[in-house]
Amino acid sequence: MKTIIVTGGAGFIGSHLVDAYIEREWRVVVIDNLSTGDQRNVNPRAELRVADLRDPAALAIVDEVKPDVISHQAAQVDVRKSVADPGEDAEINIVASLRLLQKAHDARVKRFIFASSGGAIYGEPAFAPQTEEHPLQPMSPYGCAKLAVEHYMNYFREVQGLATVAMRYANVYGPRQSSRGEAGVIAIFADRMLRKLDVTINGDGGQTRDFVYVGDVVAANMATTEHMELTGAFNVGTGVETSINDLYRAMAHLTGTTAPANHAPAKAGEQIRSVLDGSKLRKTAGLGRPRLLSDALQPTIDYFR
DSSP assignments along 233-244, one per residue: EEEE--S--EEH
Active site residues: 142
Report whether 28 contacts 47 (CB < 8 A): yes
Q: What is the pLDDT of residue 268?
A: 72
Asked if 16 and 22 touch (Cβ cutoff 8 Å), the reply is: no
**pTM for this prediction:** 0.96
Predicted local distance difference test score (pLDDT) of residue 228: 87
Measured CA to CA in angstroms, residue 200 lies from 54, 71, 84, 204 at distances of 35, 35, 22, 10
| pLDDT at residue 271, as a whole number | 85
Mean pLDDT by 10 residues, the chain (305 residues): 98 98 98 95 98 96 98 92 94 98 98 96 96 96 97 98 98 92 84 95 95 98 95 98 97 95 86 95 96 95 93
CA distance 283 to 270: 31
| 186: nearest Cα among 196, 200, 173, 199 | 173
- The predicted structure's pLDDT at residue 17: 98
CA 79 to chain centroid, in Å, comes to 13
Determine how many CB atoms are found less than 10 A away from the CB of residue 25.
Answer: 9
* pLDDT at residue number 183: 62
Q: Are 157 and 228 in contact (CB under 8 A)?
A: no
